[in-house]
Structure 1
Amino acid sequence: MTPFSLRIFVADGDPDGLRIVEKSNWIGKALVFPRALLPQVKTRPELAQTGVYLLLGPRPDGEGDMLYVGEGDPIRPRLESHYAQKDFWTRAIGFTTTTAGQLNKAHVQFLESRLIALARAAKRMPLDNANQPAEPSLSEADRADMEVFLGHMLGMLPVLGVHAFEQAPAVSTSSLPTGTASVSPTLLYCKGKGIEASGYESTQGFVVCKGSQAVVDVVPSLETNKPARLVQREDLIARGVVEIHGATYRFVQDYVFSSPSIAATFVLGMSSNGRTKWRDAQGRTLKEIQELEAEQ
C-alpha cells in the first residue's frame, strides 16, 4: 500500500457541511455533503461536470446504511431527481475532475458499472440499484485510465467513512501465527453448538474466514432483545454471504463484521461477547490477548 495525503476543504466553515476532497497526484476530486444542502450545493461548478456519485443513508429495515451508485452527464440533474424521488439517502459523494472535460459519458458509465460490481461482490452494504449496468466499450487506453481513476476513488472512500467496496483483507490463514503478537493477525476460533468458525482482527473490523460455520437456529431472546442482529443475519443470508451446508450455515467468502461481538453473535445465533468467545489455538481469549499486548 502506498501512503497518500488528502486535502479536505470545508467550503462553508461547517464540518458537517460541504467538503471538497482532493488526493495527492490525482486529477479527480470529491464533493461530500448532506442531502439538506443540495439546494445550495447544486450551483457548484463541479456538479455541472460529468461524474459518478454515491448516495448513502440508513436502511429502512435494520441498522447500517444502504447505497446507491449513479452517474451523470452532468451530475446535477441526476441529484435533483434523486432529491425529489429517493427517500432513503441522507448524504452524497460526487466524484469529478479538477478540470472540466476530463471525463466523458462512457468513462462514468464504466466507473458506475465497476463500483456496483465491487459492492455486490463485497456484500458489505445493501444496494438500492436494481440492475447491474453493462460496461461500455472503451479503448484499451481509456479503460486503463479509468482503472487508475477508480483505484484513487477506492483509496479515498474508506477515509470518507465508506467501506461498501472493500473485500476482507487478503491474509493467508494457513500461515497466520497462533502465538504471541505479530505483524500478521492471530487466527482465532469460535466454537459451540456443533459449529466452528475462524477469524481475525483487521483494520476494517473482525474478519470471519471463508469456510467458517454458523448455527442455523437462533435463540428466541435474540429476536426479542437484539432484533437488529436478527435483521442483519437474515440480510447476510439473503445476500449469499453464507449458504446452508448440511445442518449448519457455511461462509462462502471472508466477511468483515464491525466487531468481534457481532461476528460471534452471528456465528452462535445468540448474543455474545466476542472478546471472550473468540480464542486462539492455546485457548486464550481475545480479551486476554489484548490485555497481554497492552502490557507489552
Structure 2
Amino acid sequence: MGASIVNDSRPTSIRIFLADGTPDGLRLIDKSNWTGRAVVVSRSEIERALARPELGQPGVYVLVGTAEDGAPMLYVGEADTLGERLKQHVAGKEFWTRVVAFTSTNEGLNKAHVRYLEARLLQLARQANQWLLENGNKPTPPPLSEPDRADAEWFLDEMRLIFPLLGIDAFAAASGQARAHAAADTSRDEPPMLYLAERGGEGRGREVADGFVVLEGALARAAEVDSIHDHMRDMRQQLVDRGVLVTDEHALRFTQDFRFSSPSLAAGVLVGGSANGRICWKDRAGRTLKSLQDARAGVA
C-alpha cells in the first residue's frame, strides 16, 4: 500500500485531556467518532503512565527523540501489553524523550491489528524518509481479512491525523504536504511554485503549513562556505547519509521531495551557507516569498 494523503478537509473534534493539569505532562487524546486513544508522556513521567489502564492493553507506539547529530529520530513498536514493553525501553533505548502510544477504548485491537499497524507505520516512515528510524527490522503486515484490514487502515488514518498535532510529521511524505496544505484552504488550489537560483544552488519548492518542501531534482551547491553554521553542515551531511542528496557531477541532487522546518533552512542547504529563504525563494514573476506572504496578510 502506498502512502496516501490523510486530508479530506472534514471538520472534526480532537480532545486533549491534561491528566495532571500541566501542558507537558501526561496527556490523553481522543477524537470524535473514533474508538482509539493516544497516551502521550515524557520519559521522565513514564512511571505515572504505566499505571494507566490504557497501557495494560494491546497497542502500537512511537518513541520520539533525537540522534546524536540532532536529527529527529523515532522507533515504532507494538505490544500485547504496552506498559510492559515500554518498561523494557526505559532500560534498553537511550535516544527517546517521549512516547505516543495508541490503543482502543473498546478492546477493538488484537495482536494481529497492532502488528499490522506497526508494519504500516514503518512502511510510511521509510517511504517518507523525513526522520531517522531507529528500527532495524522491516516487518511485513500480517494477513488480515478484508474487513479487519479496512478497520486497521481506518484506525491508521485517525492516528495520522493526531501525529502532526504532536509535532511528529515522520509519516507524511513531503510530496503530499503542499497538496494537503492547499486542501485545507479552499480559497486557493495549491501554494505557488517557488524557485531558487543563486550561489550554485538551484531548485523548486513550495510552502507547507509547518515549513518548506524542496522538490526532487533540486541541485545543492557541493562546496560549503567557510562561515556555514554547524547545524546547516550537519543537516547537509544527514541528507547525504540518508540518500536524500547524492553527488551529481559538481552538485548534490535531491533524490526525493524533502520537507524542511523553514524556507531559510531549505535555501541554506541549497546554497551551502546562511540564506534568507523569504528573499531567496521567488515565484515565476520574481516576487519573493516575503512579498507573497505580506500580500496574503494584507500588509502594504
TM-score after normalising by structure 2 = 0.89
Aligned Cα RMSD in Å? 2.0
Please state if 1:165 is matched with 2:180.
no
Distance apart, 1:172 and its partner CA: 9.0
- Alpha-carbon displacement from aligned partner over 1:47-72 (angstroms, at most 9, x marks no partner): 1100000111122212x421011101
> Which structure 1 residue ranges, 5 or more long, are not aligned?
none
The one of 85, 91, 94 aligned to 2:92 = 85
- In structure 1, distance between residues paired with 2:42 and 2:211: 26
Distance 2:31 2:74 in 1: 23
Q: Which moved more, 1:33-42 or 1:146-155?
A: 33-42
The CA deviation at 1:273 is 0.9
AA partner of residue 22 (structure 1): D
For 1:41, the aligned partner's letter is A
**131-140 or 107-116, which deviates more:** 131-140
Q: Say if 2:79 is the partner of 1:72.
A: yes
**Structure 1 outlier segments of 4+, above 4 Å:** none
Name the CA distance, whole Å, in 2 between partners of 1:294 and 1:38.
43
Partner in structure 2 of residue 210 of structure 1: 216
Paired residue for 2:195, among 189, 204, 210? 189
Q: Within 5 Å, which residues of 2 pair with 1:1-296?
A: 1=8, 2-62=10-70, 64-100=71-107, 102-170=108-176, 182-222=188-228, 226-295=229-298
**1:171 to partner: Cα distance:** 7.9
Deviations 1:122-153 (A, max 9, x none): 11111111121122121222111111110110
Q: Does the 8 A contact of 1:169 with 1:202 survive in 2?
A: no
Structure 1 vs Structure 2: percent identity of aligned residues?
47
Q: Any idea what SS the aligned residue of 2:24 has?
A: coil
1:214, CA displacement in angstroms?
Answer: 1.2
Query: Partners in 2 of 1:144 and 1:294 — Cα distance?
Result: 42
Q: What SS does structure 2 have at the residue aligned with 1:118?
A: helix
3-state SS, counterpart of residue 90 of structure 1: strand
Shift of 1:258: 0.7
Partners of 2:263 and 2:148 in 1: how far apart? 42
1:194 deviation in Å? 4.3
Q: 1:286 to 1:163 in 2, by over 3 A?
A: same
Q: Gaps spanning 5+ residues in structure 2: where?
A: 1-7
Query: What CA distance in whole angstroms lies between the structure 2 residues aligned with 1:265 and 1:194?
Result: 11
Distance (whole Å) between structure 1 residues aligned to residue 178 and residue 55 of structure 2: 43
Q: 1:50 to 1:239 in 2, by over 3 A?
A: same
Aligned AA for 1:260?
A: P
Give 1:113 shift. 0.8
Distance in 1 between residues matched to 2:65 and 2:251, nearest whole Å: 33
Asked if the contact 2:178/2:190 (under 8 Å) is kept, the reply is: no
Sort the Cα spacing of 1:38 and 1:75 in 2 relative to 1 into closer, same or farther, 3 A.
Answer: same
2:82 maps to amino acid: I
